[in-house]
Amino acid sequence: MLISLHKQVALVTGGSSGIGAASAIALAQAGAAVVVNYRSGREAAQRLVEEIRSAGGEAIAVGADVSSEKEVEALFAETVSAFGRLDILLANSGMQRDAPTVDMSLEDWNQVLQVNLTGQFLCVRAALRQFRQQEIREAVSRAAGKIIQMSSVHQLIPWAGRANYAASKGGLDLLMRSVAQEVGEQRIRVNAIAPGAIRTAINREATEGEAAKSLLELIPYGRIGDAEDIANAVVWLASDAADYVHGTTLFIDGGMSLYPEFRDNG
Ligand code: NAD
């Protein structure tokens, strides 16, 4: 099976680092023109764009805060003005502000919800509004548009000390499935990916040194994931090879959500 995203345009939010950056590269390798959105990593986003271009791909970098309605609208407008349309949204931006609930500030609660959940809503809504204006190009893709939302195993597994993050990802699950139920008949596919432990900036402390050893006890497959493990699935989910996949969360976690602590207990 050959996966091709030629003649398609992909927008990756939070695309300047980690899973977003690996996905931007993989989408470009599959033939898509890619918009790399960044919040703070302007130089990293520009380097990524150069890397994609020097490999023969098409890409631009666009700054925007996904929790700002105005900036999200400008981001989508710039995407369409650069490449004429949008076929794939990878809503990937996310953040953590950890604290025990008893000590968590309202600001830390609000900020995480605004980026991880409201930001996803704003990007999904903007993508749906764009898809609505486009014709389906059967020769390119059977779908009018594809949305992939980056969730986490913590949409399922509770996470002490990170109630804001877990609540945002739990909310994402029902956001994704409700939107999928709503727009399926328009041939818009909506899915999510729930990564387990992937080595990136968001979890550097937990994935290095001694901490990595205890983390491995939670991963039956016995290794910490790489951003490319997720990027490969992004390309597949965005392609017509996954055309009948709709309203699903794909857990990519080396088995973390199998609750391996119960192997010898419970
Ligand atoms: P990362 O920190 O490298 O990526 C997060 C990206 O989101 C960064 O590029 C950051 O600039 C961007 N971002 C943050 N706030 C933003 C805002 N307001 N507007 C626009 N962009 C913003 O870490 P990552 O691991 O690559 O995370 C990517 C996604 O994967 C996140 O949604 C995260 O919750 C999810 N995830 C990661 C893991 C993991 O183990 N790394 C596990 C589960 C889920």
Tens of pLDDT along 32-67? Answer: 999 999 999 999 999 999 999 999 999 999 999 999
Cα–Cα distances in angstroms (integers) from residue 159 to residues 64, 153, 187, 259, in the given order: 29, 10, 35, 13
DSSP 125: H
Is the pLDDT at 265 greater than 90? The verdict is no
Residue 99 lies in a domain: yes
Tokens of 62: 């666009």
**pLDDT grade for 115, boundaries at 50, 70 and 90:** very high
Question: Which stretches does DSSP call E strand in 19-126?
Answer: 33-38, 59-63, 88-91
Please state, rounded to an integer, the average pLDDT across all residues of the chain.
97
**pLDDT grade for 202, boundaries at 50, 70 and 90:** confident
Beta bridge mates, 35: 11, 60
Q: Domain count of the chain?
A: 1
Question: How large is the average pLDDT for residues 237-250?
Answer: 98
Check pocket membership of 17 for ligand 1, CB cut-off 6 A. yes
Sheet holding 249-252, edge to edge: 59-63, 33-38, 9-12, 88-91, 145-150, 188-195, 249-252
Residue 220 lies in a domain: no
Distance of CA 176 from the midpoint of ligand 1 (Å): 18
Residue 88 lies in a domain: yes
Question: How large is the average pLDDT for residues 93-112?
Answer: 98
pLDDT tens figures, 5-41: 999 999 999 999 999 999 999 999 999 999 999 999 9
Q: CA 148 to CA 125: how far, in whole Å?
A: 13
The reported pLDDT for the residue numbered 201 is: 84
Tokens of 227: 């951003």
* CATH code, domain with 187: 3.40.50.720
Which position has the higher pLDDT, 75 or 209?
Answer: 75
For 144, other C-beta atoms within 10 Å of its C-beta total 18
Residue 26 lies in a domain: yes
Q: CA 158 to CA 106: how far, in whole Å?
A: 20
Distance of CA 244 from the midpoint of ligand 1 (Å): 27
Residue 4 lies in a domain: no
Beta bridge mates, 198: 225
pTM over 0.95: yes
**pLDDT grade for 4, boundaries at 50, 70 and 90:** very high
The reported pLDDT for the residue numbered 264 is: 86
Candidate from 95, 122, 124 with most ligand 1 atoms within 8 A of CB, to mutate:
95
Residue 234 lies in a domain: yes
- The residues assigned a catalytic role are 165
Burial call 174-203: b when 16+ CB within 10 Å, e when fewer: ebbbebbeebeeebbbbbbbbbbbbbbebb
First to last CA, the chain: 43
The reported pLDDT for the residue numbered 24 is: 98
For 139, other C-beta atoms within 10 Å of its C-beta total 7
Nearest to 122 by CA among 163, 81, 89: 89
DSSP 114: I
Check pocket membership of 202 for ligand 1, CB cut-off 6 A. yes
Residue 264 lies in a domain: no
Residue 263 lies in a domain: no
**Which own/partner pairs from 1-5 qualify as long-range (CB within 8 Å, at least 24 positions apart)?**
1/241, 3/30, 3/235, 3/236, 3/239, 3/241, 4/30, 4/31, 4/239, 5/30, 5/31, 5/32, 5/87, 5/88, 5/235, 5/238, 5/239
Q: CA 238 to CA 159: how far, in whole Å?
A: 29
The reported pLDDT for the residue numbered 2 is: 80
Is the pLDDT at 213 greater than 80? The verdict is yes
Check pocket membership of 205 for ligand 1, CB cut-off 6 A. no
Distance of CA 135 from the midpoint of ligand 1 (Å): 32
**pLDDT grade for 203, boundaries at 50, 70 and 90:** confident
Nearest to 15 by CA among 42, 50, 55: 42
Please give the single-letter amino acid code of residue 139: A
Check pocket membership of 42 for ligand 1, CB cut-off 6 A. no
Estimate the share of the chain in helix, then strand, then coil, as percent rounded to the nearest 5.
Answer: 50, 15, 35
**pLDDT grade for 204, boundaries at 50, 70 and 90:** confident
Give the residue numbers spanning the domain of 251.
9-201+225-257
The reported pLDDT for the residue numbered 266 is: 72
